[in-house]
Structure 1
Amino acid sequence: MKSAVETLNPTRVRLTVEVPFEELKDSLDAAYKKINQQVTVKGFRKGKVPARVIDQRFGRGVVLEEAVNDALPKFYTEAVNEAELSPLGQPEVDITELKDGETLNFTAEVDVRPTIEIPDYSGIEVEVDPVEVTDEDVDKAVQQLRERFASTTPVERAAEDGDVVTIDLEAKVDGKVLEDGIAKDVSYTIGSGELLDGIDDAVKGLSAGEEATFTSELKGGSAAGRQAEVTVKVTQVAKRELPELDDEFAQLASEFDTLEELRADSRKRLENMKKYDQATQAQERVLEKLLELVEVPVPEKLLEDEINTRKHNLEHHQLAQMGLTLDKYLELQGKTAEEFENETREAAIKGIKTQFVLDELVSKEKLNVNQEELTEHLMRRAASSGMSPDQFAQAVVQNNQVPLLVGEVARGKALALVVEAATVKDTNGNVIDLDEDEEDEETESAQATEEAQGEAAESAQPAEATESAEATESAEEKTEG
């Protein structure tokens, strides 16, 4: 077999492959054997029909088609490996010449990883928000804890702001009560904004046993996004009473004996949260600077697939779970369809560039992923997906996504190297040391790369040359025609 590579552009090549006919012998034998098991010819036992009879009765072309379909993936893979290519997705195969007994010639066009040069990134500088916790921040945190320990006492009066009311709801659309539009004994805190728009004004001033009707847009259910006439009936009004802010409250709400100790712990927790946010911000901004330094051609077909996958996941998974259409989502976001298209395209380009650049760094720095790192990453992904670690791990194995997770961890480690080499300062001019906890740094780096790659990262995951069996499926489809 002979093969040659023609570079069409920085991300696409054309393979020209010439196969001597004798190299098709095994595939021809397999084709005759397969056809033998499928046909019946009078005078011959099943599976014992001679090749010349099959040629006469069914045509040599049928045999050649079956043999070529069987052989093309193998020859394509050999050509890819010989040229040391890294294909992205499936090739477009065209059989240019097939002479019985002489030769098989075909071409295969396929997207490939672009060649990327990683420049010196040690000079990257980024600015992040400072870690500052004010007394007001602590007051707010303690107040939120206080709210959690509030008690309620039923009262014989009209409902007011901050009261907890028990209500029954009934929603009608076009004058008909919805099947899922009735709710009983719902507990609602007036002013919380947790239910329907307009409900606060409707229930304020009502006493137990009284009701009111208002119009509101439904946020979920069978009529999500539609205007409904909602009747709300108050069955109980209760006053919320907050505990006193003293040492007794500290003992009730925490493991501390005094309010002062509780406030000190709240301040420490807030500082840790802000440090985490600061580190995450640093990861994201360093990544942006890194991408600015590198020229990364993006394969158009891969980009189209990534954009379509992002749109599909948003419309059919995320929005569907919220009972929203894409048009309604755009309306709520205040975006036009054109703005949405542009944003999706920009995010897809950033995701693909992030993978290419960090994968190149992984290769350049010879970074490996051990079992412990993979397990920790799997646990985080399981938590964010709402699945148990065992369920998530099983799904990953069944869908052959272990290499995908390994890639995510490796890219996180690559970004951590860049962050370590960068200069990070807060807006006050203080240099930030992000090496205090290397484990957290790699965790945040992995999360930063996942966010950049987006939820559809799997569709943009480049296929390696060793995984070309999947890529050659289209070669079989081409010969069937």
Structure 2
Amino acid sequence: MKMSETKFNLTEDKNWKRTLKVEISPTRVQPRIDKFLTEYQSEAALPGFRKGKAPKDIIRQKFLGAATQDAIAELVDEAYREFLEKGKDVNPITQPTIHEMNYDPAAGLSFTASFEVRPEIELKKYKGLALSRRVRPVKDEEVEQVMEHLREQAGEWSAVSREAKEGDLLILDLDVLADSQNKIKEKHIPNYEVVLTPTLLPEFKSSLTGAAASDVKEITITYPANYGEKNLADSTVTFKATVKEIKEKILPPKDDSLAQRLKDWNVQTYLELVLAVRKQLEKSAGEEATEALRQQLRNRLVEENPFEFPASFISASRDRLKEDVKKERKEMADSEFEQKVWPPFERMMKWDFLVHALADKEKIEVTEPDASAWMTRFAANYGMKPEEASEFIKKSGRIKNVRESILEEKVIDFLLANAVIQNEDGK
């Protein structure tokens, strides 16, 4: 659409509202109507004519109204998007409401779009924010828990001649005797492995605990509707389980042999492994402290720079969020939503607006080197070439999200560099 054939007139109203009046020349409207008439002609199968062969005058008589509506809808969307591309300083935060639409073949198409824009926020305080950073100490008990997990990871299963007990691995031949929903395709599953853990389905665990090799158990299970495996959800299945073998896990001793089994840790002695585990836990504690500091920064900036959203924006945002949340948690009461879900979401929205206001004031921008560096890191993380990563981001429509993320990081770096940070004792 050519700008010379489209006129825009933007009016600033109160409370962040903007009214855009648009006039589109008939020289742009008529060709668009003709385009849709041609599409209708190619698809129309009218009595007495082969598909796509009906004369244009008959097509116009029958489909002119529909083609006109299609053209108007497309041109309205196209004109609004073009205005936003040209009007760099206009940042809508709501979808436009289209009204006062008029079309006259001689005068063309006109309509009005009303929307709300990102406000100009007066930043009161953002330099010298008082923050505290606390790194929690790593306790010996945490190190010991990880060491035990590593022993479990390095353990080996060994066959035993006794009854099955907690923690054992059972090798079963599993046969489906009855399936209420007839969803299970495999009726015989050889060498099916089951570990007797607290999370195992209770019907399996109670039947198999105490079983010996060669025992045959008949197990009936009623799976809940929300069960993870869809082919089993909301069905009752009876299995015949034949115990072929029972194994127990033999854990390695707490010595250098454990360190040498765990190749990924790149250590040779047990002491080196303990020190490496502690170092990793301390690194994680430091990362937790950094993220807590960043969240504290977000909250402090919102507290120091209060502003209010327009009621219509709040209402629309709250309704959309409530609809999304209740898709996952239908039982959530409105009071719980208002107390626990909405406040942090509203705070997050205010943070986002403040990020843009601060970026504008301090001239913080996302440069091409910034975007290129982000893409290089993304590609490395996912084993892709930079050009492949770039194409993936473009196709998934995430370019804007990436640039928003980079901008937020640059604003956070700026705020932290200008903050007063007190490092506290983590004990």
CA distance, structure 1, for counterparts of residue 253 and residue 61 of structure 2: 96
1:281 aligns with one of 271, 289, 292: 292
| Change over 3 Å in CA distance of 1:103–1:233 after alignment to 2 | closer
CA distance, structure 2, for counterparts of residue 381 and residue 306 of structure 1: 33
| Change over 3 Å in CA distance of 1:380–1:284 after alignment to 2 | farther
Residue matched to 1:291: 302
Amino acid at match of 2:245: Q
Residue matched to 1:356: 353
Higher RCO structure (Cα 8 Å, ≥6 apart): 1
| Change over 3 Å in CA distance of 1:67–1:143 after alignment to 2 | closer
Tell whether 2:242 aligns with 1:244: no
Cα displacement string for residues 266-314 of structure 1 (whole angstroms, at most 9, x for unaligned residues): 11111112111221222223223323333251624762685278459xx
2:171 aligns with one of 166, 174, 179: 166
Tell whether 2:13 aligns with 1:7: yes
CA distance, structure 1, for counterparts of residue 74 and residue 182 of structure 2: 61
| Change over 3 Å in CA distance of 1:203–1:420 after alignment to 2 | farther
- State whether residues 169 and 230 of structure 1, in contact with CA within 8 Å, keep that contact through their aligned partners in structure 2: yes
In the TM superposition, residue 241 of structure 1 has moved relative to its aligned partner by: 1.2
Tell whether 2:93 aligns with 1:106: no
| Change over 3 Å in CA distance of 1:423–1:28 after alignment to 2 | closer
| Change over 3 Å in CA distance of 1:174–1:129 after alignment to 2 | farther
SS across alignment from 1:9: coil
- State whether residues 181 and 236 of structure 2, in contact with CA within 8 Å, keep that contact through their aligned partners in structure 1: no
- State whether residues 21 and 112 of structure 2, in contact with CA within 8 Å, keep that contact through their aligned partners in structure 1: yes
Q: How does 1:382-397 map to 2 (within 5 A)?
A: 393-397=390-394
- State whether residues 197 and 216 of structure 1, in contact with CA within 8 Å, keep that contact through their aligned partners in structure 2: no
CA distance, structure 1, for counterparts of residue 11 and residue 172 of structure 2: 72
Q: How does 1:17-416 map to 2 (within 5 A)?
A: 19=23, 24=25, 26-27=27-28, 30=31, 76=80, 84-88=89-93, 90-95=95-100, 106-127=111-132, 129-169=134-174, 178-179=183-184, 183-191=189-197, 193=199, 195-212=200-217, 213=219, 215=221, 217=223, 218-224=227-233, 232-254=241-263, 255-294=266-305, 295-297=307-309, 299-300=313-314, 303=317, 306-307=320-321, 310-311=324-325, 326=328, 336-338=332-334, 341-342=337-338, 345-346=342-343, 348-365=345-362, 366-369=364-367, 370-376=370-376, 378-379=378-379, 393-416=390-413
The number of residue pairs the alignment matches comes to 392
SS across alignment from 1:88: coil
Structure 2, unmatched stretches of 5+, are 1-6, 42-55
In the TM superposition, residue 423 of structure 1 has moved relative to its aligned partner by: 4.3
TM-score under structure 2 normalisation? 0.72
In the TM superposition, residue 225 of structure 1 has moved relative to its aligned partner by: 5.7
What's the Cα RMSD here? 4.5
In the TM superposition, residue 160 of structure 1 has moved relative to its aligned partner by: 1.7
In the TM superposition, residue 206 of structure 1 has moved relative to its aligned partner by: 0.8
SS across alignment from 1:179: coil
In the TM superposition, residue 139 of structure 1 has moved relative to its aligned partner by: 1.8
Cα displacement string for residues 14-39 of structure 1 (whole angstroms, at most 9, x for unaligned residues): 2345x5xxx72532664687599789
- State whether residues 3 and 79 of structure 1, in contact with CA within 8 Å, keep that contact through their aligned partners in structure 2: no
In the TM superposition, residue 132 of structure 1 has moved relative to its aligned partner by: 1.2
